[in-house]
Structure 1
Amino acid sequence: MGYKDHPQFWQKQQPRVVGDVLNRPYAIELLGDIRSKTVWEVGCGTGYVARLLAKNGALVYGCDREESMLALAVKEEALGIRYSLQDITSTDYEDQFFDAVLCVGVLIHNSQGKIKKFLEEAYRTLKPSSPLVIGVTHPVLFAPGSPSRSGKRCWVQHRPLEDKPYSYFESQMFREDYYDKDGDCFTSSVYSHPVSAYVNLPIRAGFRLTEVKEISFPKELTSEGWGMAYGYPAFIHLKFVKPT
């Protein structure tokens, strides 16, 4: 099961999963003022984030490698968004074309080798002094003892559970079960990259790190049955800038 097989899970107009509340809005905020800016939304899927960007005044380009996801995206509000079927590691965008690049919930689905190639592409297509914002599930969730590996109800579960040998510093593959507010589940394969990988790979690609934000689980969501304690890390956001 994955994006190709279950695209309807991501067809939405309103927040549906925890990431819609704690991940995507905060990542967009890190971009700063995007009015009249040209923004690349990486791995745009069904276009939910692309539409948020467009409604904030951006000229949005969204690419994805799954045709089934893009087929749903083009059925929603157009908002001037340019969608294309492309792999994020090799695109046909021009050099120094974008004013900003946003990559949310995508890199955990890629090996470090592919992340490196994507970052080279992001660096090539970004204008100097422009931001790259990355948002991912917090790596601490993959550790034994975390809510997502307990087997109990949680907004996300990483399997195998406690019986999987684990080293924080090694990128390992897990099966991720991601639940929405109605209890429906989306399953895909993800990597448990350490924070150092998300920091150092962009730096090696030429970017400069300017800000890191860790998003914890708020009190208002703990009472809604998401299965995570108040204050536990949920997502991490990193803002980089391409030097002048």
Structure 2
Amino acid sequence: MTISNYDDFAPAYDADNAENLLNNYYERPAMLDLVGDVRGRRVLDAGCGSGPLSVLLRERGAIVTGFDSSARMIAIARKRLQPYADLRVLDLGDALPYEDGAFDDVVASLVLHYLRDWDGALAELRRVLRPGGRLILSVNHPLVFPLSVEGGKYFPIVEFPMECDFGGTQATLQTWHRPLHAMVDAFHEAGFRIADIAEPPVAPDTPAELLPNGSTRFVSFIFFVLEPEQR
């Protein structure tokens, strides 16, 4: 049986996420490199899942707040982080229960590509950032869809169901493909400027047997550091 709700496969996803190539040796190290020194900074982990990035941010001295739409993911995150982090079940794109300028940084790790419309989510994430704050995010690289789906076209914004195996649990991740120019347009329309774009290699400690064809670089995710423009 193939399932598509994170509540249905949260434990299997969490276990796989802790040790696989794409999350453990590629995406999280890249996010941490972009975030940099977070000692004493108030960081919102938007779409925090089971909390692996939140744990690393807290270990580096951040004051962490997080939310996710999956109650089972948040339950796992709370076992790891409470009472040291405020964790809630919330949907990205809805109005967030945080004050304007509440955070020094927001991280959004592999979450925006689950949304067809980015406008509301980006507007809320900008609202809760203080002036001079940063939004650091990762999403599916825009080349993944046309390279991996037969007949997949680059330019339209289209549904991109991704079939995954998490330790024998089959799941469908209901994502959306978005071309680069549409990402950039959405950032600017929400009042952000792009401070950095990254397509990094894997972490130096990645086991060689995990690397596809021995390559430390491949098309998977793309990373952005955004800063609110002054209005």
| TM-score normalized with structure 2 length | 0.86
Aligned equivalents of 2:182 and 2:168: distance in 1? 32
Note closer, same or farther for the CA distance 1:71–1:217 as it changes in structure 2 (3 Å cut): closer
Question: Would the aligned equivalents of 2:9 and 2:169 in 1 still touch at CA under 8 Å?
Answer: no
Q: Deviations over 1:39-63 (max 9, x none)?
A: 1101111111111111111111101
Per-residue displacement from partner, 1:18-55 (whole Å, max 9, x unpaired)?
12211122112212221110011011111111111111
Structure 2: gaps (5+ residues): none
Structure 2: how far apart are the matches of 1:118 and 1:22? 25
Structure 1 residue runs of 5 or longer lacking an equivalent are 150-160
SS where residue 11 of structure 1 aligns?
helix
CA distance in 1, matches of 2:97, 2:160: 31
Which protein has the bigger helix share?
Answer: 2
1:212 to 197, 205, 216: 197
Q: Secondary structure at the match of 1:130?
A: strand
Work out which of the residue numbers 41, 59, 63 in structure 2 matches 1:37: 41
Partner of 2:30: 26
Aligned residues: 224
Task: Supply the distance in 1 between the matched residues of 2:87 and 2:160 (Cα, whole angstroms).
Answer: 30
| Structure 1 equivalent of residue 226 of structure 2 | 240
Question: SS at 1:170's partner residue?
Answer: coil
1:119 aligns with 2:160: no
Aligned to 1:191: 176
- Relative to the length of structure 1, the TM-score reads 0.82
CA deviation digits over 1:124-175, x for unaligned, max 9?
10001111111112121111xx3xx3xxxxxxxxxxx42xx43211111122
Partners of 2:214 and 2:190 lie apart in 1 by: 36
Task: Answer 1 or 2: higher relative contact order, Cα 8 Å, separation at least 6.
Answer: 2
Q: 2: CA distance between counterparts of 1:118 and 1:107?
A: 8
Distance 1:218 1:35, change over 3 A: closer
Q: Give 1:68 deviation, angstroms.
A: 1.6
Q: Secondary structure at the match of 2:200?
A: strand
Distance in 2 between the 1:183 and 1:14 partners?
15
2:122 is matched by which residue type in structure 1? Answer: L
Distance 1:208 1:25 in 2: 23
Measured after TM superposition, the shift of residue 233 of structure 1 is 1.8
Distance between the aligned counterparts of 2:209 and 2:99, measured in 1? 45
3-state secondary structure, aligned to 2:29: helix
Is the 1:222–1:229 contact (alpha carbons within 8 Å) kept by the matching residues of 2?
no
Query: What is the root-mean-square deviation of aligned Cα atoms in Å?
Result: 2.5
Match of 1:52 in 2: 56
2:65 to 58, 61, 65: 61
* Shift of residue 5, structure 1, vs aligned partner: 1.3
Matched, 1:96 2:101: yes
Percent identity of equivalent pairs? 27
Identify the range of structure 1 (4-13 vs 131-140) with the bigger mean alpha-carbon deviation: 4-13
CA contact (8 A) 1:9 1:186 kept: no
Per the alignment, residue 107 of structure 1 pairs with 112
2: CA distance, partners of 1:76 / 1:222: 26
Change (3 A) 1:8 1:172: same
CA distance 1:88–1:202, change in 2 (3 Å)? same
- Return closer, same or farther for 1:221/1:140 CA change in 2, 3 Å cut-off: farther
Tell me if 1:80 matches 2:65.
Answer: no
